[in-house]
């Protein structure tokens, strides 16, 4: 399985956070994890990636929302069996649009997105968000879904993913409409 993160201090953090993230990946996959390598875009280091030797053909992406479309357009990502998008708030219907774009290349691909949790913003207003901001015991910022993935890890990676992230259905439901 491929693991891609944004190469900026908000996500990658520092070398210690990268090491902690590798430990997290090793714990949730029960597999060896490669060293982090760079993905360059227009000659600049834009993302980091590693591979867990777990036998799964999927990609787990943690980055800012504006980078998701680019990463999901990469053939190595699109040809996999599933993609997990661990990012900040997706506007309503963007998850369906993203899945539809990827299904033009791979009709069997599955898309999972981070679940939302209730948080309070600076103005003390409650809102639903899947912002990655909870450092907790892992040593790097996590989303609610990542914390649930760790909690469910003993059930096997695919079961843990299905229980921890929201699967995007290709079918448009009334509840999906704005």
Number of domains in the chain: 1
Residues with Cβ within 8 Å of 22's Cβ and at least 6 positions away in sequence, in order, are: 33, 36, 50
For 44-68, how does the pLDDT look when each residue is reduced to its tens digit (9 = 90+)?
Answer: 889 999 999 999 999 999 998 889 8
73-77, 85-89, 122-126, 159-163: which range is least confident on average? 122-126
Q: State the Cα–Cα distance between residues 67 and 20, nearest whole angstrom.
A: 23
pLDDT at residue 26 in the model: 97
Q: Where are the beta strands (DSSP E) in 52-140?
A: 58-62, 82-86, 110-114, 117-120, 126-129
Domain span including residue 155: 2-176
Q: State the Cα–Cα distance between residues 44 and 37, nearest whole angstrom.
A: 13
46-55 exposure pattern, b = at least 16 Cβ within 10 A, e = fewer: bbbbbebebe
Task: Quote the percentage of the chain above a pLDDT of 90.
Answer: 53
In the 8-state DSSP scheme, what is residue 68? H
Please report which confidence band the pLDDT of residue 130 belongs to, taking 50, 70 and 90 as the band edges: low
Decide: 6 and 47 in contact? Cβ < 8 Å. yes
Q: What is the pTM of this model?
A: 0.87
Query: How many CB atoms within 10 Å of residue 141?
Result: 18
Decide: 70 and 15 in contact? Cβ < 8 Å. no
């Amino acid at each position: 399985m491929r693991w891609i993160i944004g190469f900026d201090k908000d996500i990658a953090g520092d070398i210690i956070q990268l090491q902690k993230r590798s430990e997290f990946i090793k714990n949730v996959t029960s597999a060896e994890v490669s060293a982090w390598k760079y993905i360059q875009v227009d000659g600049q280091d834009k993302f980091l990636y590693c591979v867990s030797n777990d036998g799964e053909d999927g990609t787990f992406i943690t980055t800012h929302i504006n980078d998701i479309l680019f990463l999901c357009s990469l053939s190595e990502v699109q040809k996999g069996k599933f993609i997990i998008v661990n990012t900040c708030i997706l506007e309503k219907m963007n998850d369906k649009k993203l899945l539809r774009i990827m299904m033009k290349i791979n009709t069997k691909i599955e898309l999972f997105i981070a679940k939302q949790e209730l948080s309070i913003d600076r103005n003390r207003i409650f809102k639903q968000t899947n912002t990655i901001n909870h450092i907790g015991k892992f040593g790097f910022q996590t989303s609610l879904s990542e914390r649930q993935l760790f909690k469910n890890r003993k059930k096997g990676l695919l079961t843990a993913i299905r229980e921890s992230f929201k699967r995007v259905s290709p079918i448009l439901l009334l509840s999906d409409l704005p």
